[in-house]
Structure 1
Amino acid sequence: MPKKLILYLLGTIIFIVVGFFVYWRLPIEITRKSDIALGNTLIKNIEKYKLDHNKLPSEDDMKTLEKLGFDIKLLGTEPSYEIV
């Protein structure tokens, strides 16, 4: 009985390790698909704002940044928004 348990545990550990390495080797387009989609949405929204107002939104205008799709955090936005 303990021999079967050890084999099951060893098989599970090997499966998890192999799964981790397979996931790690996947292209970034697959593993970060939602982040890429959010970035593309933010870019479209900022470009539309710039066309409508002839300027970029201010870094401290949290209401506007939230409307554009940024997640408002205590110390700023996520992803970070800065005018350079």
Structure 2
Amino acid sequence: MFGRLRRAEQHIDQLQARIWKLEGLIAERAGVDGDELARLLVESDPGLTTEVRELAEQGQTVAAIRAYRVATGAGLKAAKDAVEAYAARLAA
């Protein structure tokens, strides 16, 4: 059972990486710069509330993940991935 779960998580991670790459390629072809793309990505995720964004920007990752989960009902992994992706976009 755990082996299937791990394989499914790996598959999801691979798909997510492909999506991020496609987002970048589409933005590039559309002439959208990195700042505009980051803004659009934030707007498209209802879990990235003002509270979550502020906590992530302050480096309070655990609190940001908790707030994301409360806002969306997402599981721990999905919330962690979303907050970490947001933080990575900030650092870029």
Please confirm whether the aligned pair reaches a TM-score higher than 0.5, indicating the same fold. no
The structure with the largest strand share of the pair is 1
The structure with the largest helix share of the pair is 2
- Give me the TM-score of the superposition, normalised by structure 2: 0.40
Q: Which has the higher contact order (CA 8 A, sep 6+)?
A: 2
The structure whose Rg is larger is: 1
